[in-house]
Amino acid sequence: MGRLVQLEVTNFKSYRGHHVIGPFKDFTAVIGPNGSGKSNLMDAISFVLGVQSAHLRSTNLKELIYRGRALVDEQGTPDATGETESATSASVSAVYEDDQGRRTVFTRTIAADGSSDYRINSRPSKREPYISLLERENILVKARNFLVFQGDVEAVASQNPKDLTRLIEQVSGSLELKPQYDTLKDAMDKQLENSASMYQKRKTVQAELKQYREQKDEADKFDALEVERSQLILDHTLWRLFHVERDLERVEESTNNAQGTRAELAELEAAADRKLAAAKQAVAAATRDVTRAERKVAAKDKEIADRAPQVAQLQQSRTHAEGRRDRLSVTRNKVAADVEKHAEGVEHLEKQIKALDQAKRKVETKIANAKRQREALEAFTDEYHRMQSEYLVAAAPVQQELDSARLGTKTRGDRIKAAESKRDAAERSRVQVQTELDAAKSKLSNARDNLELMHAKLADIDTEIAQSASRAAALRAREVQLNESFADVSSKLMEYTADRRATQRERAHAELVAELKAMFPNTVHGTLAQVCKPAQKKYEVAVGNVLGRHLDAIVTDNQATAIECIRYMRENRKGHAQFLPLAELVTKEIPQALRMFAHARPARDLIEYSKDVAPAVEYACGTALVAESMDVARHICYERDTRVKCVTLDGITIQKGGGMSGSSDGGRAQQQQRASRWDEQEMDDLQTRLNNIRAQLLEVNAEKRKAADRERPEERRVTIAGQVEYLTNLANGLQAKVEALETQVAALEKERVTAERTIDELQEEMGDAHVEDLEARLDEIKQATFADFCARAGVGAVDEFERIVIESAAAEARELQDVEKQRANVESTLVFEREQLAQMQTRLQSLEDDVAKQEKAIVEAEHKMEQVQEVIAGIQAEMDEMRQELDGHKKVRDEKAAAHGLAKRQLAEVRKELEAMDRALAEHFDSRVQLHHQRVTMLRRARVEGIPIRLTAGSMASLAPDVSLAESQEVSQGIEIDYSGLDPELQADGSDHMEQQFNARLNEIAADLDRMAPNRRALDKMSGVTTKAKQTEKEFDAVRRAAKHAKDAFESVRAERYTRFMDAFQHISGCIDKVYKDLTMSRNFPLGGTAYLSLESEEDPFSSGIKYHAMPPMKRFRDMEQLSGGEKTVAALALLFAINSYRPSPFFVLDEVDAALDNANVAKVARYVVQAGLGKQDGKDGETEAAVDRVQFVVISLKNSFYERAQALVGVHRDNDQNTSSVLTLDLEQFPAA
């Protein structure tokens, strides 16, 4: 990669005259005081490389020419000539060297008028080739990828996503395609718009052509349907008349059979009534027997209940004794284990005493032998001292040298003694603390065992309490259910008579509706309650209240049918009825605002009905709402002031005017009666059910008394819970103590190990070979001096004489003293352990006595409880016999009640059959009348509508409209119809399915005819429209081809722009995290921070933004604006270095980018620059290698921790005499690193 060799500046900004700056190394630092002209050097590099004046802290190029001060004379007054030191032109030349070593001189000059020109190797050049040559060397002037101005480094990281996208577009070269991209996109949009317009035109013409074709086909179809409908109406009328006459014949035959059957049923009714009276008397007698037996059982049950508290008290005493026995047993076992352990310790100490006594005897024997030897050698003591003086004189030089060598050894020996003392103290403390720890662990184990036992008992009691509560809750629920059932059955018995009267009125109305539906099939649909039903059962009361008086209204197809029905009712005295003619009903749409309320819906949406009767349901419902609660209804009607009828699920109604109804008992009964229209209920033998419920209630009360007399486990639970709390606190305290002691033991062990390590190290240091040599020389001198003395004294060496005569007495006394001291310590410990053992044995015996005492209490409580239970068992046996007797009476009562119910049902069945037969006779009569009326109505309709019916007898003229219905029936009997033209298959099939087929086909034809509006002129217009369609198709194809061509051209440019942009983005995104880690890693944070780029849109990246996030080491994620100045600077440098790695510029100029950095971050950035500039593979002190290729750096810096690592320094200073900035260059590579 190329490099910037040097810079030549002439009259540029603060630089007067000609200055040569350089040569520049791979890492050159520009330093100098503020105001000396460092940043002007940055502007000079930017200027010569083609950067516009707007980025050079100037509004125009003339401001870049050197401007000096005015000249003054000797007196200090301005020169009268007005001359100054300012220059009229300026120039900057940059010497650049490429990879092959070829040098190119880029020169840019400024004329006096502010214009500038460019030169390459002194030859004039235009700006475009000048910039193009720089870009071939990856010096991107527009992107300014080779420099960072002062104060701009934080703005790089904080720029908005759009600006960051534009920066990457400049680096990638995709920005060059933007004008062509925008032009082709506008062209494509325009062509697509033309294509859509032409497509719409083509669609319109095709639709017009299709319309005329359909109109021609429709006219032909219309004529065919008219013919088919006329024939179908004739066949339908003949088919209906034919089957009406057949029905009349069957009705006559059925009436005769029904009259005979009714006489037989009347006789059966009288016999069933007598049987029911006898069964009722038998049930009453059996019920009295059951009552007497129940009183006897209740008396025995009370006697058992009276003795229950005594059993409960004995059980509680036994449980308390068992719990205390178990706790004492656990404690006894622990104490027994401790006694055994202490006994073993005492035995071990006694063995130590015996061993120490034996050792003492051996030492005393050894002392006696040594004393005899010492007495034999004491005669040579004076001679020894004389020879010792001679030895000291002869060994003085060596001794002096040895003392000097031992000077350091003595210090080490003192340190060894101190370390040994510290080690011994730590070991003694550790043994003492370990003893306390073992005792605490033993107590903690005992506490945990007792706590576990108490928890188990607590769980058992909780289970017992839960079971008792569950049984009590079940009894309460069963009692509530039985009471509700009792009240319900009693209420039904009282309302039974009234319900029968209401049912008779409803039955009469239902018979009337059935007659009208038979007389006017397909035109009378039934009552409103029959043609619709609520969607869910919970809406029955509310929907019944909304429909109200319309529930029994009869739904007809139109007003004419309703008038015919009224005429029939008047003539036959059938009472009154309300009608809802579907064709004439005017309904209201539900306003959208009423559908917006939460927890409220329009009533019509909660009803299921067919589309045929929709007008009737919508008319009856109106705009009424059904609310889930009264609060919702009040909110809608009162708080929101909505004028609408609102009904709650329990039937309370708020009218449009604000009045409220439906909350009284009578209102609720009426609502329930309305709701029952959709829920038919059959009542069984209510009296039998009432007796069963009463018996079950007695059993429930007996069970409740037994449960109340049982022992209450809650009291025992309180006692055990208190023990659990105490043991828990005790265990927690012991646990804390154990943890503290374990920590103390670990610390003491660590202290002992450290002292041992110190002793070993010091002992190794004391093993000095020079000291040993000197000691060997002293030993030789000593042996030579004392040789004759040793021979006369009869000892092998003088050391042996010294040991026996001088040293042995003290050593032997110390050895005996140590043994005696050790025995005294062991004996003291033995006395203490024996006392502890005696105390534990005493406690163990006390615990054994307490356990035996509790065992005795348990046996006594069990014995007393067995006696009481024997008495209760005898009473229970008597009560069981009484219960068997009671069960027998109940069985008899149930049999009598079943026989009574059977007799009652048989009577009801006979009466039901009798009533059914009466209804059948009435229906036969009504059917005959209806069939005659239906035949007359059909003949009249055929006469009015002109249906050509052929007759074999009579005349259609006799059925004039002014003739009454009764007279028309008599006249119609003389009319005979010719059915020879009716298809035999139609004569054989009179089913409703065939009727549905006729109606379906007629409705289908009518609907088709209503939809048709044949255009007889459609054929004349088809020719012109066909020609117009062909011409439009050709125009559409041409526009579509043009749109495809524009789209292909746009997609080609878009793909090229997208590829350039994404190549750059993916490269930068892939390496920015590595660069950021290199800039932020340290010994404390070897992994460094994290940085990444993310696209706001991957489909159209250059039209959206790019987000840049950086997270310094050990810090959570934050937006870039929330980072500190130093963190922003490091993030910005990472981004700049990553961008530079995509199209790396040969050099990088940085102007005081370290201003916001602390010393640590300055060192990291400096290390990175050194790695990148010098091509090093390892960072400072072995840290991570650099993440970018080798690049030349020119850095303007005021911090010595940064520029001291450069290869060369360019010092800029101010020459006040010459009023100019001057430059000094220093090659730091000439000086070796310190």
**Mean pLDDT in residue range 543-571:** 89
Task: Write down the pLDDT at residue 755.
Answer: 81
pLDDT in tens, 342-353: 788 788 888 888
Look at residue 510 and tell me whether its pLDDT is greater than 70: yes
Task: Write down the pLDDT at residue 295.
Answer: 79
Task: Write down the pLDDT at residue 498.
Answer: 45
Measured between alpha carbons, how far is 1122 from 1079 in angstroms, rounded to an integer? 19
Domain edges within the chain: 1-146+1145-1234, 484-689
Mean pLDDT of the chain: 79
**Mean pLDDT in residue range 1022-1036:** 79
Look at residue 390 and tell me whether its pLDDT is greater than 80: no
Domain 484-689: top CATH class: alpha beta
Q: How many CB atoms lie within 10 A of CB 647?
A: 28
Q: What would the two tokens of residue 509 be?
A: 């109305």
Task: Write down the pLDDT at residue 982.
Answer: 81
Per-position DSSP letters for 966-1022, written without gaps between them: HHHHHHHTT-EE--TTS-HHHHH---HHHHHHHHHHHHHHHHHHHH----TTHHHHH
Q: What would the two tokens of residue 842 be?
A: 């005493």
- Give the CA angle between residues 820, 821, 827 to the nearest 5°: 85
Measured between alpha carbons, how far is 225 from 972 in angstroms, rounded to an integer? 33
Look at residue 646 and tell me whether its pLDDT is greater than 80: yes
Task: Write down the pLDDT at residue 118.
Answer: 93
Task: Write down the pLDDT at residue 682.
Answer: 40
Please state whether 21 falls in left (phi above 0), alpha (psi between -120 and 50) or beta.
Answer: beta
Measured between alpha carbons, how far is 908 from 12 in angstroms, rounded to an integer? 126
**Mean pLDDT in residue range 979-994:** 81
pLDDT in tens, 432-480: 778 778 777 877 887 787 888 888 878 878 887 777 777 777 777 877 7
CA neighbor of 624 nearest in space, from 650, 642, 598: 642
Task: Write down the pLDDT at residue 106.
Answer: 94
Look at residue 408 and tell me whether its pLDDT is greater than 80: no
CA neighbor of 547 nearest in space, from 606, 474, 480, 621: 621
Task: Write down the pLDDT at residue 895.
Answer: 84
Task: Write down the pLDDT at residue 810.
Answer: 63
- Please report, rounded to a whole number, the percentage of residues in the chain having pLDDT higher than 90: 8
Instruction: Spell out a b/e string for 225-241, using b for 16 or more CB atoms within 10 Å of the CB, else e.
Output: beeebeeebbebbbbbb
Task: Write down the pLDDT at residue 501.
Answer: 47
Look at residue 70 and tell me whether its pLDDT is greater than 50: no
Place of tokens 């329930």: 672
- Measured CA to CA in angstroms, residue 688 lies from 480, 692, 695 at distances of 20, 6, 11
The yes-or-no answer to whether 1-146+1145-1234 and 484-689 have a common fold is no
pLDDT tier at 1019, thresholds 50, 70, 90: low
Q: What would the two tokens of residue 527 be?
A: 């009552």
Question: φ, ψ for residue 699 (rounded to 5)?
Answer: -65, -40
Tell me if residue 122 falls in helix, strand or coil. Answer: coil
Look at residue 84 and tell me whether its pLDDT is greater than 70: no
Look at residue 960 and tell me whether its pLDDT is greater than 80: no
Beta bridge partners of 868: none
**Mean pLDDT in residue range 1202-1209:** 88
Look at residue 500 and tell me whether its pLDDT is greater than 50: no
Measured between alpha carbons, how far is 938 from 204 in angstroms, rounded to an integer? 51
Task: Write down the pLDDT at residue 684.
Answer: 43
pLDDT in tens, 151-205: 677 677 677 888 888 888 888 888 888 888 888 888 888 888 888 888 888 888 8
Place of tokens 């055990």: 720
Task: Write down the pLDDT at residue 107.
Answer: 95
Measured between alpha carbons, how far is 707 from 688 in angstroms, rounded to an integer? 29
Task: Write down the pLDDT at residue 76.
Answer: 45
- Measured CA to CA in angstroms, residue 719 lies from 218, 222, 311, 448, 802 at distances of 97, 98, 20, 18, 80
CA neighbor of 47 nearest in space, from 152, 141, 153: 141
Look at residue 769 and tell me whether its pLDDT is greater than 60: no
Look at residue 871 and tell me whether its pLDDT is greater than 50: yes
Tell me if residue 313 falls in helix, strand or coil. Answer: helix
Q: What pTM, to 2 d.p., does this model score? A: 0.38
Look at residue 918 and tell me whether its pLDDT is greater than 50: yes
Task: Write down the pLDDT at residue 104.
Answer: 93
Look at residue 1182 and tell me whether its pLDDT is greater than 50: no
Place of tokens 């406690």: 843
Superfamily of domain 1-146+1145-1234 in CATH is: P-loop containing nucleotide triphosphate hydrolases (3.40.50.300)
pLDDT in tens, 664-706: 444 555 555 555 554 433 444 566 676 677 777 777 776 766 6
Look at residue 803 and tell me whether its pLDDT is greater than 50: yes
Task: Write down the pLDDT at residue 553.
Answer: 92
Tell me if residue 854 falls in helix, strand or coil. Answer: helix
Task: Write down the pLDDT at residue 665.
Answer: 47
**Mean pLDDT in residue range 1148-1165:** 84
Contact between 203 and 195 (Cβ < 8 Å): no
CA neighbor of 1169 nearest in space, from 1205, 1135, 1119: 1205
